[in-house]
A and B are shown apart, each in its own frame.
Chain A
Amino acid sequence: MRGATHAKWAACAVAVALAATACGGGDSGGGSGASGIVSSSWGDPQNPLEPANTNEVQGGKVLDMLFRGLKRYDSKTGAAKDMLAEKIETTDSVNFNITVKDGWTFSNGEKVTAKSFVDAWNYGADLKHNQKNAYFFGYIEGYDKTHPDKGDPTAETLSGLKVTGERTFSVKLNQKFSTWPDTLGYAAFAPLPRAFFDNHSAWLSKPVGNGPYTVNSYTKGSKLEMRKWDGYPGPDKAQNGGVDLKVYTDNNTAYTDLTAGNLDLVDDVPASQLKNVKADLGDRYINTPAGIIQTLAFPYYDEAWNTPGAVKVRKGLSMAINRAQITDTIFQKTRTPATDWTSPVLGADGGYKDGLCGDACKYDPAGAKKLIQEGGGIPGGQVKISYNADTGSHKEWVDAICNSVNNALGNDRACVGNPVGTFADFRNQITQNKMSGPFRAGWQMDYPLIQNFLQPLYYTNASSNDGKWTNAEFDKLVNEANAETDKAKAVDLFQKAEGVLRDQMGAIPLWYQNGSAGYSTRVSNVALNPFSVPVYNEIKVS
């Protein structure tokens, strides 16, 4: 390490020399803005800030501050709790009668009524509005008319939605779905004020909602200032004066700004800095489980991966991955080795089952080698793990997995990474069934239900079943679980389905992802919710 130290000093010496010629003062009053205001890192949202059109976490953060829906997921347990919903009643798991609480308004004074919800949902479900989260309304009757798979919509409103009073409306689903009310905490189900429909572009440049914050100013691409809404009627009032979201081109820069005292909160600590958080931040660093699981999916449309022997190969590969070592070294414990296909944030009652995967997820190089040989060896002699190279640092963990597999098999070319230049290209290769080997699959839950971790990913032809895995037994169990009105029994059935997935090793579970954040000395009571979004309204500023 002596050489290394020298290099460090040399680099610093150069920096000093250069700085002397070019720098003056610079620091104009440290700290981070006005009193009571939290400054937080942000990424430019990829879509306009419409509730049913926001499918990534950056836009999601804003909606979480700006809107409150019928339900809200508890920031600690993730359980869906009533927010604007006074009651949601059903007798048959198909027809639901919803009553909205009295006394809620939007920040522009407009009352939140049943119509605010119904209009918003109809807007989101209408194909003409290009809302990327329209599929959330897919369980409501009439969705096939407002959002047909082909051609123009034949209806503008969902026939399953009826306003029955100022604060009441009824919902009819197109199938039995006992836990449907628990999905209503998702941002897509937020109510919308008339201003959204009447002057859409004005609303987009300064959104108005019914949450604890209001938008003060929004400069696209650089800064969004949110301020506490004093008239907020809900129980979860903002504990700070407001939040300034600053757009960063790189999360490493945001982290550096935090350590320099120019920023209060970074909710995405870059992997390369994880080793330094103790030194830089001390205990002002949080690392909590989030509802995200990373897996390796397989292309079942490729004959080579769909043979009876391939099950053993897949299990063997799973056992060749030293998950504990990779999560410790590469991710610095911001991931936890996966032992099932759901997430710990569901809790045992919600369907998470530690160790469900069994031996197939335990590192066992000798067993792995034996299983892969029994299964006929790796198809084509080499596993290529595909990932997109443009976002996230996927290269590192893919390389680490490959090294782990190669060491287990004693062949340094048994596994290689296969980077794909852009995310769009990566997705295109997946949707066009062009993958020839395992590929990166990440799943961030929409709502904390075991159903959400299984059905969209592994049910035959489900929307995110990227590997086209199909199993009649699994489908049957999921159908039964959805129809089951007793929650515990439903969870049990889902876990049975998960057992089928395990026996076939439909996808290799890798690790559960945590949310990680660092914060400044100015703020306290910082936490991340199970969606890895900071609970902004509870942050206190000293």
Chain B
Amino acid sequence: MPEPDFDEGAAISATGAGGVGQGAIAPTGTGAAMDLAISEGATLERTPGGPEGTGPAGKPRSLWGDAWRDLRRNPVFIVSGLIILFLVVISLWPSLIASGNPLKCDLSKAQLGSRPGHPFGYDGQGCDVYTRTVYGARTSVTVGVCTTLGVALFGSVLGGLAGFFGGGWDALLSRITDIFFGIPVVLGGLVFLSVVTSTTVWPVIGFMVLLGWPQIARIARGSVITAKQNDYVQAARALGATNSRMLLRHIAPNAVAPVIVVATIALGTYISLEATLSYLGVGLKPPSVSWGIDISAASQYIRNAPHMLLWPAGALAVTVLAFIMLGDAVRDALDPKLR
């Protein structure tokens, strides 16, 4: 499997991320020789090696290209993709599956449970929980996904650079990160968002990116510091690879896993954070419909009407699940040891 061209990322990466003391440049094969993991779970199973894994000889393949080929065959990726597609569709056209009006509320039906035509019951204001959950998808998915993307990009670029270059750059970027860590969310929200008059979700997303990036930056920095010690990176450096080539080809694929893990979980917390901000009057301007707002409103009545919490929280859980699965699939695809 390893190809002779040592400038080829995939081949070099195949030596693995470890190598403390062993220093082995030995190729790892297809991942079946030794397995502490005992067995691959059904959900994470993949076609080992094989001709399609190596591709046509002579034509240089990039690691990212390999990853994409892997992904398309991964059932986990397909399932998560379908869930995300569904979320996108109902975000764009909620009326496809919900005929009601999320703002139409009748207080006389407050907190009532399931009724014909209203399978999820009513919330504290007598609004239909099902309709609100469907209509809440647009805001919540936009907030969750865009914030996560922003935080992940911004954070991993800054953190990655700090970790890669080290020294003065690291000191400067890391200390800026520390200051940003110090800003309490509530204070930041009241200061930055109370002056905003826009009724869109973008100021909220921008604000969450502003306060969210330091965490990802730290994680990315730590990963890059580890990854750049690897033998294949040192080898690439010795062979005169440029900084950008080393970062993109050799370090990023090996450092990205923790970032993906943190980002996919954080996606759920961002959706909830929007509600905290909205509650303080600095998030989305009323009348907004979002899972976060409904979850926080329902939380108060957990003793009397838990059904109000169940559906928006369930929708949030499914969304997070889809992205965790997606993240897992992407990470696996980027890990040459699994190939």
Q: Would B124 and A419 count as touching, CB distance under 8 A? A: no
Q: Would B304 and A275 count as touching, CB distance under 8 A? A: yes
- The answer to the question of B303 belonging to the interface, with a C-beta cut-off of 8 Å to chain A, is yes
For A398, the closest partner residue in chain B by CB is: B286
**In the complex, which residues of chain A have a beta carbon less than 8 angstroms from the beta carbon of B194?**
421, 425
With beta carbons under 8 angstroms apart, the residue of B103, B107, B279 that contacts A325 is B107
**In the complex, which residues of chain B have a beta carbon less than 8 angstroms from the beta carbon of A396?**
124-125, 297
A30 to B285, alpha carbons, bound, how many Å? Answer: 47
- Among B113, B190, B279, B287, which residue has the most Cβ atoms of chain A within 10 A? B287
Known: A4-B306, A325-B108, A329-B110. A272 touches B287 (CB 8 A): no
Nearest Cβ on chain A to B114's Cβ, whole angstroms: 6
Q: Would A8 and B107 count as touching, CB distance under 8 A? A: no
A407 to B194, alpha carbons, bound, how many Å? Answer: 29
Nearest Cβ on chain A to B60's Cβ, whole angstroms: 51
Nearest Cβ on chain A to B317's Cβ, whole angstroms: 12
Q: Would B114 and A1 count as touching, CB distance under 8 A? A: yes
A419 to B106, alpha carbons, bound, how many Å? Answer: 22
Number of interface residues of B (CB under 8 A): 35
Q: Would A326 and B107 count as touching, CB distance under 8 A? A: yes
**In the complex, which residues of chain B have a beta carbon less than 8 angstroms from the beta carbon of A2?**
114
Known: A399-B125, A403-B107, A403-B126. A4 touches B113 (CB 8 A): yes
Which B85-136 residues sit within 8 Å CB-CB of chain A?
Answer: 101, 103-108, 110, 113-114, 121, 124-126
Known: A403-B126, A421-B194, A421-B280. A276 touches B303 (CB 8 A): yes
- The answer to the question of B307 belonging to the interface, with a C-beta cut-off of 8 Å to chain A, is yes
A121 to B59, alpha carbons, bound, how many Å? Answer: 94
Nearest Cβ on chain A to B292's Cβ, whole angstroms: 14
- The answer to the question of A389 belonging to the interface, with a C-beta cut-off of 8 Å to chain B, is yes
**In the complex, which residues of chain B have a beta carbon less than 8 angstroms from the beta carbon of A11?**
302, 306
Q: Would B104 and A412 count as touching, CB distance under 8 A? A: yes
Q: Would A417 and B286 count as touching, CB distance under 8 A? A: yes
Which B275-312 residues sit within 8 Å CB-CB of chain A?
Answer: 279-282, 285-287, 297, 300-307, 309-310
Total inter-chain residue pairs, C-beta < 8 Å: 92
**In the complex, which residues of chain A have a beta carbon less than 8 angstroms from the beta carbon of B114?**
1-3
A7 to B307, alpha carbons, bound, how many Å? Answer: 8
Nearest Cβ on chain A to B223's Cβ, whole angstroms: 31
A417 to B194, alpha carbons, bound, how many Å? Answer: 15
A495 to B135, alpha carbons, bound, how many Å? Answer: 49
**In the complex, which residues of chain B have a beta carbon less than 8 angstroms from the beta carbon of A3?**
114, 307, 310
**In the complex, which residues of chain B have a beta carbon less than 8 angstroms from the beta carbon of A402?**
287
Known: A325-B108, A329-B108, A395-B279. A413 touches B304 (CB 8 A): no
Q: Would B126 and A422 count as touching, CB distance under 8 A? A: no
- Among A4, A272, A406, A425, which residue has the most Cβ atoms of chain B within 10 A? A4
- The answer to the question of A404 belonging to the interface, with a C-beta cut-off of 8 Å to chain B, is yes
A322 to B124, alpha carbons, bound, how many Å? Answer: 16
Q: Would A422 and B190 count as touching, CB distance under 8 A? A: yes
A420 to B302, alpha carbons, bound, how many Å? Answer: 26
For A386, the closest partner residue in chain B by CB is: B281
**In the complex, which residues of chain A have a beta carbon less than 8 angstroms from the beta carbon of B305?**
4
A400 to B107, alpha carbons, bound, how many Å? Answer: 7
- The answer to the question of A102 belonging to the interface, with a C-beta cut-off of 8 Å to chain B, is no
A404 to B303, alpha carbons, bound, how many Å? Answer: 26
**In the complex, which residues of chain A have a beta carbon less than 8 angstroms from the beta carbon of B309?**
7
| 0/1 string, B161-195, CB within 8 A of A gives 1 | 00000000000000000000000000001100010
**In the complex, which residues of chain A have a beta carbon less than 8 angstroms from the beta carbon of B280?**
389-390, 419, 421
A419 to B288, alpha carbons, bound, how many Å? Answer: 13
Which A402-442 residues sit within 8 Å CB-CB of chain B?
Answer: 402-404, 406-407, 412-413, 416-422, 425
Q: Would B104 and A418 count as touching, CB distance under 8 A? A: no
A212 to B40, alpha carbons, bound, how many Å? Answer: 75
Q: Would A419 and B286 count as touching, CB distance under 8 A? A: yes
Rank and list the top 6 A-B pairs by shortest CB-CB distance, nearest first.
Answer: A419-B281, A4-B307, A1-B113, A412-B103, A272-B300, A389-B281
17 A-B residue pairs with CB within 8 Å: A1-B113, A2-B114, A4-B310, A7-B306, A7-B307, A8-B306, A11-B302, A275-B304, A276-B303, A330-B107, A400-B125, A403-B106, A416-B287, A421-B189, A421-B190, A421-B282, A422-B190
Q: Chain A interface (Cβ within 8 Å of chain B)?
A: 1-4, 7-8, 11, 271-273, 275-276, 322, 325-326, 329-330, 389-390, 393, 395-396, 399-400, 402-404, 406-407, 412-413, 416-422, 425
- Given A325-B107, A403-B126, 19 more pairs with CB closer than 8 A: A1-B114, A2-B114, A4-B113, A7-B306, A7-B309, A272-B300, A275-B303, A329-B108, A329-B110, A329-B126, A390-B280, A403-B105, A407-B104, A412-B104, A413-B287, A417-B287, A419-B279, A419-B286, A421-B281
